[in-house]
């Protein structure tokens, strides 16, 4: 069984540059979240573009796999670069992109940027996608005393995003897959969300609140309370819970 909830709010900003979309068909699900980057007022265009194109590919896909994910990122990057050229956009119209695909008892996911995908089982945080940010690069290289990207001054400077030029107009994706042989939860969230919700909060809420909708609502309240008085960024998240039939 799949139980999921979505949330997106502009926060204190005039424009919501985050975008969420999903596709569901029998035992196949595809969840997409993106955070558009500013510049010429096109961040919202970019996030909407990458999400809608992902769903379009998912609807036509024979199966979901890491190969499917790689095809998504490759095709969308080329299409977005072409759209920018046609619109004469040289700066901006770039976006993070995070995709979670579930087919039967198999899940696969991949990302570009700093929109994270957290994977939890009933006992622990299993994994989290690494940020493609200057902050993460500096921390990994031992060039910073900061150990949490939340406190790093360069956490919002991305080194990879959809629509950014690369040597071969494509991004290398570290796709991950797992067999869902037990209950799992996936939290997909933009930096406006994970900046204020700590991993221990995520795990505590996900494992104690019975529904995805109620759990996501509680985490949103945590984010909003901690962000009070600040110039809050857009806040967006998807919570997906997988429960095997034998549980």
pLDDT for residue 23? 94
Check residues 102 and 11 and name the one with the higher pLDDT: 102
Angstrom distance (rounded) from CA 148 to CA 131: 11
Angstrom distance (rounded) from CA 161 to CA 198: 24
pLDDT tens for each residue of 168-227: 666 778 789 999 999 999 999 999 999 999 999 999 999 999 999 999 999 999 999 998
Q: Could you tell me the domains of the chain? A: 2-242 (3.60.40.10)
CA angle 150, 112, 86 (to 5 degrees): 125
Written as six digits, the tokens of 196 are: 């204020």
Please return the burial class of 181, using the count of CB atoms within 10 Å of its CB with bins 0-12, 13-18 and 19+. exposed
pLDDT tens for each residue of 26-55: 899 999 999 998 655 689 999 999 999 999
* Cβ-based neighbours of 200, under 8 Å, separated by 6 or more: none
Please say whether the beta carbons of 18 and 33 come within 8 A.
yes
Which of 238, 124, 130, 114 is CA-nearest to residue 176? Answer: 130
pLDDT tens for each residue of 55-68: 999 999 988 988 89
Please say whether the beta carbons of 208 and 201 come within 8 A.
no
Burial 121-143 (b: 16+ CB within 10 A, else e): beeebeeebebbbbbbbbbeeee
pLDDT for residue 87? 85
Bridge-partner residues for 125, per DSSP? 120
Phi then psi for residue 22, to 5 deg, are -155, 160
CA distances from 206 to 95, 121, 152 (A): 28, 10, 27
Bridge-partner residues for 110, per DSSP? 99
């Amino acid at each position: 069984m799949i139980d999921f909830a979505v949330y997106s709010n502009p926060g204190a900003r005039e424009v919501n540059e985050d975008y969420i979309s999903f596709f569901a068909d029998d035992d196949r699900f595809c969840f997409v979240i993106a955070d558009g980057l500013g510049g010429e007022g096109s961040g919202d265009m970019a996030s909407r573009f990458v999400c809608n194109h992902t769903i379009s590919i998912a609807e036509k896909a024979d199966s979901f796999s890491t190969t499917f994910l790689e095809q998504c990122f490759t095709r969308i990057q080329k299409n977005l670069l072409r759209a920018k050229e046609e619109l004469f956009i040289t700066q901006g119209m770039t976006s993070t992109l995070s995709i979670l695909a579930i087919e039967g008892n198999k899940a696969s996911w991949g990302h570009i940027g700093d929109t994270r995908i957290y994977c939890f089982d009933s006992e622990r945080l299993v994994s989290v996608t690494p940020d493609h940010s200057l902050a993460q690069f500096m921390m990994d290289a031992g060039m910073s005393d900061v150990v949490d990207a939340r406190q790093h001054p360069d956490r919002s400077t991305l080194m990879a995003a959809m629509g950014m030029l690369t040597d071969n107009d494509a991004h290398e994706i570290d796709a991950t897959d797992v067999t869902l042989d037990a209950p799992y939860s996936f939290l997909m969230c933009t930096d406006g969300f994970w900046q204020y919700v700590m991993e221990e909060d995520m795990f505590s809420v996900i494992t104690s609140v019975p529904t995805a909708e109620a759990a996501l609502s509680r985490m949103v309240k945590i984010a909003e309370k901690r962000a009070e008085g600040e110039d809050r960024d857009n806040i967006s998240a998807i919570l997906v819970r997988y429960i095997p039939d034998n549980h």
